[in-house]
Each structure stands twice: as structure tokens, then as C-alpha cells.
Amino acid sequence: MPKKLVGFTSGERAFPRHGYPVFYENAPSGVVTSGTLSPSLGTPIGMCYLPTQGAREGSTLEVEIRGKRVPATVVKPPFYKKASHR
């Protein structure tokens, strides 16, 4: 099954780490390739590979963190908004 690298964020306090399991449509999809708590946004962010049908912005997935599946949403990187220059 073809996969695509995507960025994701979560509204939970727990943050993803490299190697944590990822689930798409309740099925194992892979692992987190990188993840942390964003210092500028104050929210958990990460990257992982998802099946191409789940790689669209706004798609949902779950990341297993300390034995609990945490919901996350696919976002388009970069994870920050650039300041507009006037």
C-alpha cells in the first residue's frame, strides 16, 4: 500500500516521540518518524507515513502514547504561520 509522509498535530497534552505506533482507520499504519512539543505553538506535533487516502489535510489518525491512543489531525507543514511583512 503506497504511503505519504505527513505532518500532524494533537490537542492532547501528551506528545509523540520517534517510534510510537500510528493507527489510521483503526489499523496499524506505521510509526512516528519525529515528534515533540512545539515550543512556538505549545502543542504536540509530529511526522509519520500514512496511506495516501489518509494523507489529506484534516484527516484523522491516532498515535499510541504510553498505551493510550491519542487522536491527531493531518496538517500541512510547516507547523507555524509566517509573520506577514507590511
Helical (H) or strand (E) element with 31: strand 27-37
Tell the CATH topology of 3-75. Answer: Elongation Factor Tu (Ef-tu); domain 3 (2.40.30)
Low-confidence ranges of the chain (pLDDT < 50): none
Q: What is the pLDDT of residue 84?
A: 67
Q: What is the pLDDT of residue 83?
A: 67
Q: What is the pLDDT of residue 28?
A: 95
Domain residues of the chain, as ranges? 3-75
pTM of the predicted model as reported, rounded to 2 decimal places: 0.88
CA distance 40 to 5: 22
CA distance 65 to 61: 13
Nearest Cα to Cα of residue 77 among 24, 6, 15, 11: 6
